[in-house]
Amino acid sequence: MQSVGTLLRIGSLRSKLVILVLSVSLVAAGATALIAFVGGSRSLEVAAFDELTAVRETKAAHVEDYFAQTREQVVRFSEDRMVVDALAAFSDAFFEFESASGDTRAQVDSRLSRYYQSEFIPRLEETTARAATSRQYEPSDPRVRDLQDQFIATNPNPTGQKDRLDEADDGSAYSAVHSFYHPLMRNFQQGFGYYDVFLIEAQSGNIVYSVFKEIDFATSLETGPHRDSGLADAFDRAMEIRVDSPDIASHAALEDFRPYAPSFGAPASFIASPIVEDGELIGVVAFQMPVDRINQIMTSNFEWRANGFGDSGETYIVGSDSRLRSESRFLVEDETAYLEAIERAGVDTGTIATIDSIDSAIGLQPVDTPGVQEALAGLSDTDTFRDYRHVQVLSSYRPLDIADVEWVILSEIDESEAFEAIRQFRTLALLWLLVAGAVFVFVAVLYSRRLVTPIRALSATAAAIAAGDLEVGIEGGGSDEITELANSFSTMRDSLVGLVGRQDRAIEALTTPLIPMGDGIVLLPIVGELDSRRMVRISDELVDGVHRRAAQVVLVDMTGLRTTADADNDDEALSLLLNAFRAVRLLGVLVIMTGVQADLATRLTGSGHDTTEMATETTLRLGLRRAGAHLENSTAIAPAEGSNR
């Protein structure tokens, strides 16, 4: 079976047709595939950004609504009669506090210091990866130390569960007030998911009550160890709020997330509202915002894949300091890989160690990307850039509308995942192009064969006709242009056959007749090329004519006879002619060859033909003279002038 390379010889008509058809087809198919790929890729990219923007807007609405509801809730809570009464009762009990436990000052101080040194400081150092001393955090006020001893140090519940104690066993009025209000406040805190709830009196800023009972309990936010904390700032701002403003949203102050030592260095945010009784500011209520609630909103309860985020999609919040305010998906799913990624991205080792210790990146992970910068500048848009892991992502970003904080929200997905569909589309487009190319090649070869085969047949026919085969057949019978060409070839061949026939007859008329030259002498002129078929006819005519005319001398004039390029053909023709001359000699007739040309003489001698019995003369005139002399002297033929025997 012929290979494609054999069928498609370079430069052949068939190869040119195949190349032409294939080129046009592939250009058309390639252009179609390119247009489809570019258009499809753009559509997929737009769809990916649209999906990110939709997720961003949904999450942003939830977060904004949550903070708006929280703001309204803390304001309404501060106005609640029970809360007003609770603050008044706790404040009175706080300033009148006297423990009836009977323990000495030294015993109380020893227990409390031991709690700080053996419980609080180790936990703080573990989570923050920084050295700390109890002196930094232990309160100095004896009243505060007594309350912390009763509700924290000697609280039988473990750290993180100190809120389970309703009443301390010290017989104090404070414990009695606590036993009444604490279950109600705790139910509120747990029911709405706040980390903690604080009641802070206005006189000296003491936290006269907290649900969770961390080491900020009972301390002063003006002079105590936590006076520089986010809770202290929220308290100060709430104390300056004018509650007669009609805008309820302005009745609360929100502080952004930042590390909070009483919560073992975890990031904490606070929202506070003033408590007014009979027109007098008596204190502040504050909520410690739950990180988990914000994370639930941003992470869809950590069910990223189930909620259509794929393997790398996430939505997160960044604060004005360009640090995370919600948890990183990658920290939650694969902490080791996440820490390695941010290390490669250039995050300092101290920050990485802290994130590793507390298992949280909130307030720690820097996110200084183009999207964050533009969103902090008040812009909303979509773009492609490297995220905080230094991975190329598609991002949709905008600022959040939350009072008192400057936060932005970003919804992102790794570019490699987002464009996976585009890569698959490109692969399919290339595959389609290859398949189409193979089909085009097959069709082009098939139809070029159908087109070129009759042309090749005509070419072979033309070559056969050129070689002298006028009997070759020419196929026709169709109706296309090639068939018309074949019919024209057939007509041309028929005309050529007629022409050649007429030429042959003319030549035969010129070469085969014996021309009488006088009594007993005939002339046989031979013109044209040596040809075996003609020599047969000449031989037959010569022998028969000499016999019929009773000739005694035959003059064979070869002046017009030419050799051909085919030596074998010439040799065969000369052999036939010489045999005819010998046959005539057997009849007693003298054969005189005249006008033999140089090329014919060379062919005669070179072929080894015996011409010794043949008389030759250079010209017909000399041949006639010799023929006359032969007739005059029939007994012998003497060599004539200029002859060669």
CA atoms within 13 A on the CB side of 182: 20
Q: Which helix (H) or strand (E) holds 307?
A: none
CA-to-CA dists, residue 560 to 517, 525, 542, 563, 604, angstroms: 19, 8, 17, 10, 16
Distance (Å, whole) CA 318 – CA 363: 9
Which residue, 261, 293, 288, 286, is CA-closest to 272?
A: 286
User: What integer is the mean pLDDT of 303-315?
Assistant: 90
Asked whether residue 645 carries a pLDDT value surpassing 50, the answer given is no
| Per-residue pLDDT at 641 | 45
Cβ atoms 546, 514 nearer than 8 A? yes
Percent of the chain's residues with pLDDT above 70: 82
SS3 99: coil
| Per-residue pLDDT at 306 | 86
Asked whether residue 512 carries a pLDDT value surpassing 60, the answer given is no
Cβ atoms 360, 327 nearer than 8 A? yes
> pTM of the predicted model, to two decimals?
0.65
Q: Which two tokens stand for residue 591?
A: 């054969």
SS3 203: coil
Distance (Å, whole) CA 497 – CA 346: 94
Distant-in-sequence, close-in-space partners of 100: CB < 8 Å, separation ≥ 6? 170, 171, 172
At 143-182, the pLDDT tens digits run 999 999 999 999 999 999 999 999 998 889 999 999 999 9
Question: The tokens 């309703």 sit on which residue?
Answer: 166
Q: Which of 26-35, 400-409, 435-444 has the lowest mean pLDDT?
A: 26-35
Higher-pLDDT residue of 542, 334: 334
| Per-residue pLDDT at 452 | 66
Cβ atoms 426, 37 nearer than 8 A? yes
Asked whether residue 37 carries a pLDDT value surpassing 60, the answer given is no
| Per-residue pLDDT at 603 | 82
| Per-residue pLDDT at 318 | 97
| Per-residue pLDDT at 185 | 97
Asked whether residue 506 carries a pLDDT value surpassing 80, the answer given is no
Q: How confident is the model at residue 308 (pLDDT cuts 50, 70, 90)?
A: confident
- Beta 590-594 vs 553-562: how paired, if at all? parallel
Phi, psi of 356 (to 5 degrees): -65, -40
